[in-house]
């Protein structure tokens, strides 16, 4: 990928910052909380598997939430979140490794480290149950190879969510050995969100791969739409965080984790 083209300026700036950020120190070794088990437990419990994202701000958000991330995490879990995602990118998303560490200590659900990992050493920053690798960013000149990073992450104990946006990227993820694939409805080139992206790309992901719909999911209807298209789980940030407002994060989460059950009740009622 020529990353001077086709990528939104805000995303280019994120990528430039990621290139500059060093790695951690000692090699991380983690005993992860199983994402697959958490999804299964949620399903058995009648909850839609939702990964709720703690994102104090973002290039596309209005405003910033300054609440204690641990409070937010606890409200999300109380609202039925199956797992949490914590942004650790400091410059554009207001995240930090320390925040992730505090959140992971405070809850017992799996925690995804959401960052822009380009080199193996950047895996050695903080223990998390899952790390994100973004196919598109790993095509940029001078970054580590996706398959190598996937192996390096697994050797440290991490589960790996590989993020895609197109059928071609899904193929690359599969070739690299991904077993958890996310399809991002947000185009990192334009930052526009289209839930049709997941619907178009999902059929290319084989059974047996855990499939996650990411971004732009706002309402219970959106949840059902993504579930109908094959999503095993959903990654939801803004609709839960509600940037700039002080609404009820637990209620925001519950509305989305109850989407499948509410739909069944509505069907039986009528
Ligand atoms: O806030 P949303 O639209 O619910 O999206 C959450 C998450 O999918 C989004 O933060 C995200 C997914 N992949 C990314 C890659 C970079 C930055 C952000 C993201």
| pLDDT tens readout for residues 100-140 | 999 999 999 999 999 999 999 999 999 999 999 999 999 88
Q: How confident is the model at residue 33 (pLDDT cuts 50, 70, 90)?
A: very high
Bridge partners, residue 164, by sequence:
183
* Mean pLDDT, the chain, integer: 92
Instruction: Tell me what percent of the residues of the chain surpass a pLDDT of 90.
Output: 77
Q: Is the pTM of this model over 0.90?
A: yes
235 lines ligand 1 (CB under 6 A): yes
Q: What is the pLDDT of residues 184-219, one digit of tens each?
A: 999 988 889 999 999 999 999 999 999 999 999 999
Residue minimizing CA distance to atom 8 of ligand 1: 215
Read off the pLDDT of residues 157-171 as tens digits, 9 standing for 90 and up: 999 999 999 999 999
Distance of alpha carbon 200 from alpha carbon 67, whole angstroms: 37
Cα separations in angstroms, 114 against 13, 86, 169, 257:
17, 6, 19, 21
User: Which one of the listed residues 53, 127, 169, 199 is annotated catalytic?
Assistant: 53
Going by pLDDT thresholds of 50, 70 and 90, the confidence category of residue 242 is confident
244: confidence class by pLDDT, cuts 50, 70, 90: low
The pLDDT assigned to 267 comes to 65
- Ligand 1 centroid to residue 85 C-alpha, Å: 10
- Residue whose Cα lies nearest atom 13 of ligand 1: it is 184
C-alpha 50/C-alpha 84 separation (Å) is 8
Between CA 225 and CA 217 the distance in angstroms is: 9
Higher pLDDT, 107 or 262: 107
248, pLDDT greater than 60: yes
Domains of the chain, earliest start first: 9-269 (3.20.20.70)
Determine how many CB atoms are found less than 10 A away from the CB of residue 151. Answer: 15
**161 in contact with ligand 1, CB cutoff 6 A:** no
């Amino acid at each position: 990928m020529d990353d001077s083209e086709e990528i939104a300026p805000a995303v280019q700036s994120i990528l430039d910052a990621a290139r500059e950020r060093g790695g951690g120190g000692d090699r991380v070794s983690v005993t992860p909380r199983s994402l697959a088990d958490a999804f299964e437990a949620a399903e058995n419990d009648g909850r839609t598997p939702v990964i709720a994202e703690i994102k104090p701000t973002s290039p596309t958000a209005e405003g910033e939430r300054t609440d204690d991330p641990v409070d937010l995490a606890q409200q999300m879990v109380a609202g039925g979140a199956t797992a949490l995602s914590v942004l650790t990118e400091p410059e554009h998303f207001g995240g930090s490794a320390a925040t992730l560490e505090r959140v992971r200590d405070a809850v017992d659900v799996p925690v995804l480290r959401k960052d822009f990992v380009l080199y193996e050493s950047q895996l050695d920053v903080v223990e998390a149950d899952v790390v994100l690798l973004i196919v598109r960013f790993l095509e940029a000149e001078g970054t580590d190879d996706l398959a190598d990073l996937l192996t390096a992450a697994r050797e440290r104990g991490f589960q790996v969510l590989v993020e895609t946006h197109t059928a071609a990227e899904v193929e690359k993820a599969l070739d690299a050995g991904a077993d958890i694939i996310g399809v991002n409805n947000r185009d990192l080139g334009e930052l526009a969100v289209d839930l049709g992206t997941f619907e178009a790309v999902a059929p290319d992901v084989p059974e047996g791969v855990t499939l996650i719909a990411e971004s732009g999911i706002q309402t219970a209807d959106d949840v059902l739409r993504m579930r109908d298209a094959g999503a095993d789980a959903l990654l939801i940030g803004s609709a839960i965080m509600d940037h700039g407002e002080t609404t009820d994060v637990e209620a925001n989460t519950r509305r989305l984790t109850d989407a499948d059950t509410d739909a069944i009740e509505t069907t039986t009622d009528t």
